[in-house]
Amino acid sequence: MSERALPPVTELGVVSMALIVAGGISIASQLPENVPLTLPILFLVASSLIMLANLIALARTPGFDWDAFFDVAKWALVGYAVIAGILEFVFVHDGVRGGILVVLTLSLVVYAVHVPLLIGFTVARYQ
Amino acid sequence: MLAPMADVALDAPTATRDAPPRADFEIVPLKGLPIVGAVLVALVVAIAANRLWALEFFHVAAGGLWTSFDLFLGFVLGPILGRLAIPARVELTTRLMPKLLLIMPTLVTCTLASGWQLGRLLGTIDSGYANHGWIVASYVVVGVMAVIALAVLEPANVAVLFELKKPRPNPQVIQTLMKRFIYTAGITGAMQVTTLVIMTKVATG
């Protein structure tokens, strides 16, 4: 097994996903009243920054198997984009609009990008 | 999700040594994709139509299957697998896990999307609903399961299949990845039982 020094991509991914989920729960638990968006936005920004940190850390890792990463991540991205698209459809269909829709949409984007990143990383690190 | 394969890891170092030549397998079973596509199209139609029966069907059927799969695989098939001969474990893993790669995300998507729409239709997701606390608890439970499944188990599942597809799989890699299933099986099981409690409470008012 490769014991190269790798950044803590999975651990950061868990934190990032937890923040996205927390933001979603924060919004969902207060519907249909006026939903304060401060907390969900903070969670979304923190989650996005962690995802960015993950990408930067991976990009700076010498010898990482990017071919294997993209081979896996691109198909995972297709799959999770479909799932995120269905969830987005539900929100729009239900009349979610404005700031709530923006936060939920961006949260779905982070979800649909970060999960394939984690799958691609986990496969590629052992190639 | 997918907790059952945990026991494959226990004797993983001997897996390749004892295993007979394996038949090749698809990491993602392509024949299953049209079925997944058809189910997801039906889900979108049910949501767009906003019909009670269709939404109830998707939420109850997919949710029941999701919970059943998790509990059965984690607490019934997992321990059985642990007592099988190594070649049998590898054989079952390479046949079962690719199918789960399609089945589980489909069930989860159907459960959550139809459940949300059902909640809108019935008013159970409104903050003024009498059992609102139970509903929020269900969000937390699903959230915990989602983080574990998406960030921890699904990547390990795919990576194990890629490793097993190699001419000479590295047992150490498989063992390392399978530890994730062992560590999370209890959490997933507890969350699924909690789901049963919450959903039956909400359904009965």
Q: What is the Cα–Cα distance from B160 to B118, expressed in whole angstroms?
A: 36
Q: Is the peptide bond before A40 cis (omega within 30 degrees of 0)?
A: no
Q: What is the pLDDT of residues B29-80, one digit of tens each?
A: 999 999 999 999 999 999 999 999 999 999 999 999 999 998 888 888 878 8
Residue A118 pLDDT: 94
Nearest chain A residue to B180, by CA: A10
pLDDT at site B6: 43
Is the sign of the CA dihedral B35, A90, A84, B93 positive or negative? Answer: negative
Check residue A4 and give its pLDDT.
60
The answer, for A17 touching chain B at a CB cutoff of 8 Å, is yes
Q: How far apart are CA B31 and CA B34, in angstroms?
A: 7
Q: Is the pLDDT of residue A60 over 50?
A: yes
The token pair that represents A39 in the structure block: 């907390």
Q: Does B163 sit within 8 Å of A1, measured CB to CB?
A: no
> B interface mutation test: which of A3, A70, A123 has the most B CBs within 10 A?
A123
Q: What is the pLDDT of residue B8?
A: 44
Q: What is the mean pLDDT of residues B149-166?
A: 89
Chain B CB contacts of A79 below 8 Å: 105
Is B152's pLDDT higher than 80? yes
Give buried/exposed letters for A7-24 (b at 16+ CB in 10 A, else e).
bebbebbbbbbbbbbbbb
Alpha carbon distance B195, B190 (integer Å): 9
Residues A118, B109: C-beta atoms closer than 8 Å = no
Q: Does B127 touch chain A (CB under 8 A)?
A: yes
CA distance A21 to A25: 6
Report whether A122 contacts A24 (CB < 8 A).
no
Mean pLDDT of B136-164: 91
Residues in chain A: 127
- Contact call for residues B119 and B17 (beta carbons, < 8 A): no
Of B30, B167, B50, the closest CA to residue B113 belongs to B50
Using a cut of 0.80, tell me whether the model's pTM lies above it. yes
The answer to whether the CB of A117 falls within 8 A of the CB of A55 is: yes
Chain B CB contacts of A33 below 8 Å: 127
B19 contact A CB<8A: no
Q: B100: part of which helix (H) or strand (E)?
A: helix B86-122
pLDDT at B4 over 50: no
Return the residue matching tokens 């933001």.
A23
Contacts of A86 in chain B (CB under 8 A): 40, 43-44, 109, 113
When the pLDDT of each residue in chain A is averaged and rounded to a whole number, the result is 90
Identify the helix (H) or strand (E) that includes residue A127: none
Nearest chain B CA: its distance from A49 CA (Å): 17
Give yes or no for a contact between A44 and A21, defined as CB atoms under 8 angstroms apart. Answer: no
Which range in B11-20, B52-61, B76-85 is most confidently predicted, on average pLDDT?
B52-61
Chain A segment 75-94 residues within 8 A of B by beta carbon are 75-76, 79, 82-83, 86-87, 89-90, 93-94
pLDDT of residue A93 exceeding 60: yes
Has the ipTM of the complex gone over 0.90?
Answer: no
